[in-house]
Amino acid sequence: MAYWVDAAPRKWPKPTPPPPPSPIYHDLKEVMPTEEEIARAAEEHTARLQQEIEQALAKKDKDRIEAVFVFLLPELLQVEPARVVDMVAAQKPGESRNRLRDAVARQWVVMDLRSAMDWMKTLEDTDRRAAAKMALTNLRPIDPSQATLLAQELSIDTDEPVERVSAR
């Protein structure tokens, strides 16, 4: 069996410059938003994200909860983490709070370890331990050294069993 090998490396054409700008200009009838309008829209957007997450938790619809945790929670953690911290604190103790706390710990520890640890330190002992276990479960396979740092910072025994992530 023979294989054909190109002896010379392939040469790609040089990039061409963009065409010159058009000398024809049109007045637009669209209104450009002001800085205040942009800021208000951003605030409304993050408030809407929070509302969607809270509604999903209140209705206890597992599919909707999964969707908001996958799509909305990461965005809210990225743009306004203080809102997420307040949202966790505002939840009444129970299944919904535990789910939200675990999802925040699982996602935030990968996005911003230092901020996630600072948040976990503010939690009460049982919530802190549960959040730390969830964070360790998520972080240990990705970055064991960071997981060890997290365990030391939060005074969690590294020999303590963590949740196993199982394939569904």
Among 32-46, 69-83, 146-160, where is mean pLDDT lowest? 146-160
Q: Which of 143, 166, 147, 167 is nearest to 158 (CA)?
A: 147
Determine the pLDDT at residue 6.
55
Q: Alpha-carbon distance 87 to 77, whole Å?
A: 11
pLDDT tens column, 12-32: 777 888 899 888 888 888 888
Q: For the chain, what are the domain ranges?
A: 36-153
Instruction: Specify the pTM.
Output: 0.76
